[in-house]
Amino acid sequence: MHKIAVIGGDGTGPEVIEEGLKALKAIAELYKISLDVHPMDINGERYLRTGEVLTDQDMAELKTCDAIYLGAIGHPDIQPGILERGILLKLRFDFDQYINYRPVKLYPNVASPIKAASPESIDYVVIRENTGGLYTGIGKFENKGSTDEVATQSMVYSYKQVERCIRFAFETARKRHQTSPWKGLTKDQVHDGKIGKVTLCGKTNVLTYVFDLWERVFNDVAQDFPDIITDYTHVDAVCVHMIERPNVFDVIVTSNMFGDIITDLAAVTQGGMGVAASGNINPQGLSMFEPIGGTAPAFTGKNEINPMAAIGAAHLMLDHLGHPDAASHLEKAKVSVIQQMRSMLAGKMGFKTSEIGNMICDEIYHMAHS
Ligand code: IPM
Ligand code: MN
């Protein structure tokens, strides 16, 4: 039995999560996985009503769950930062979800703004450090409000924080190619019989303290993975490669802030926010899975938003909960429905949000009985 906390959140969050839950229920029935779905009222509306973001009671309830399935958090009437820090980042930090796992995969029939893109050339994972660096909020104002004002925000990393993140990236590279060493790797990614590749994305030429540490830790951890190719690329060059030669990437590991930025760029190359999903992972604790598209206020309540990213978050969650076959079944059903859609963009899909959820359920059933 898996108890899943469901936080629909704000905007289009609840709509896409509803479709994801439909698909999860269909797949769970097929694979005899028992799910206990536990909806929670955590969002901007509640904050406006009660002044609460995350209560002790919420945290206590979440602690009894095996995973969190999250829609989106954000509200146009609430000052930026309150919900982000009070809900999303608090969950990541308090549950020590130190990995942000972001598969970047271009599915067949999905339009990419990159001309030369193909499903073979865009297939990698970004491992973003998820609880440290610039996100900790360490900083201060001096002489605030005057023209002598100075504001500071610090990027702080410890060896241990960096080490656990980089180790996870190497393990991910190994796992991606476990079944067949060459599977999924392009010519550029394979050298000397090694089975996968981890690229450290940093800025060693300017951030000479923090990324010096990252690079030393990277080299230390690499000693334990002689089967994995290692590579270093500055973050600005990573952006160029993502557009011009994404096939050079297999697993990218990077800091919180750089990871935030490059994963949005990566999402665009794989067809946009309608398809990109992520896992906030604590390998020993409570993890949280979310589509990365945000609240999309312009589409709220219209039944026009693309639920594929939420479906993607659902199969990441199934995989994490120890059901790789069910996860891959759901991903295949997703790929098949994508073939029938006109576009991945909200309002242009050729189907309503709820229709797509139903199509996925039909496809899950069809695949099992054909
Ligand atoms: C993301 C989001 C969050 C982040 C925001 C909403 C705080 O952009 O998940 O990438 O910056 O991490
Ligand atoms: Mn972001």
Ligand 1: atom nearest CA of 260 is 10
CA of 23 to the centre of ligand 2 (A): 26
Q: C-alpha angle with apex 367: 364 to 370, nearest 5 degrees?
A: 145
pLDDT confidence band for 157 (50 / 70 / 90): very high
Report how far Cα 324 is from the mean position of its chain's Cα atoms.
Answer: 17
Asked if residue 343 lies in contact with residue 349, where contact means CB atoms within 8 angstroms, the answer is yes
pLDDT attached to residue 177:
80
Average pLDDT of the residues in 156-182: 89
Closest CA to 42 of 69, 79, 77, 80: 69
Query: What CATH code is assigned to 1-98+282-370?
Result: 3.40.718.10
CA of 262 to the centre of ligand 2 (A): 9
pLDDT digits (tens, 9 = 90+) for 98-120: 999 999 999 999 999 998 799 98
pLDDT digits (tens, 9 = 90+) for 296-315: 999 999 999 999 999 999 99
pLDDT at 194 over 80: no
CATH fit for domain 112-270, picks 3.40.718.10, 2.40.50.100, 3.40.1390.20, 3.20.20.70:
3.40.718.10
Which amino acid residue places its CA nearest to atom 12 of ligand 1? 260
CA of 201 to the centre of ligand 2 (A): 17
Q: Sign of the C-alpha dihedral, residues 6, 168, 211, 186?
A: negative
Q: Which of 75, 84, 87 to mutate to test the pocket of ligand 1 (most atoms within 8 A of CB)?
A: 84
Average pLDDT of the residues in 195-220: 96
CA of 186 to the centre of ligand 2 (A): 28
Q: DSSP for 273-306, please give it.
A: TTT-EEEEE-TTS-EEEEESS---GGGTTTT-S-
Q: How far apart are CA 250 and CA 274, in angstroms?
A: 22
Q: How far apart are CA 314 and CA 330, in angstroms?
A: 8
Tokens of 256: 């919180």
pLDDT confidence band for 183 (50 / 70 / 90): low
Ligand 1: atom nearest CA of 263 is 10
CA of 258 to the centre of ligand 2 (A): 10
CA of 82 to the centre of ligand 1 (A): 13
DSSP 250: S
pLDDT confidence band for 370 (50 / 70 / 90): confident
Which residues form the pocket of ligand 1, taking CB atoms under 6 Å from any ligand atom? Answer: 84, 88-89, 260, 292
CA of 260 to the centre of ligand 1 (A): 7
pLDDT attached to residue 115:
81
Task: Examine domains 1-98+282-370 and 112-270 and report if their fold is the same.
Answer: yes
Q: Which amino acid is at 218?
A: F
- Backbone phi and psi for residue 202, each to the nearest 5 degrees, phi listed first: -145, -150
Q: Which ligand is nearest to the CA of 92?
A: 1
- Cα distances from 224 to residues 92, 227, 228, 230, in angstroms, run 28, 9, 9, 12
Instruction: Output the pTM of the full model.
Output: 0.95
pLDDT at 31 over 70: yes
Beta strand spans in the chain (E): 2-9, 35-39, 67-72, 99-105, 123-129, 139-142, 150-153, 196-202, 228-234, 251-254, 277-281, 287-291
Average pLDDT of the residues in 84-98: 96
Q: Which of 7, 89, 130 to mutate to test the pocket of ligand 1 (most atoms within 8 A of CB)?
A: 89
Give percent of the chain with pLDDT exceeding 90. 91
For the chain, the structural domain boundaries read 1-98+282-370, 112-270
Which amino acid residue places its CA nearest to atom 8 of ligand 1? 260
Give percent of the chain with pLDDT exceeding 70. 96
pLDDT digits (tens, 9 = 90+) for 314-351: 999 999 999 999 999 999 999 999 999 999 999 999 99
Residue carrying structure tokens 């659902």: 314
Q: Which of 53, 87, 88, 290 to mutate to test the pocket of ligand 1 (most atoms within 8 A of CB)?
A: 88
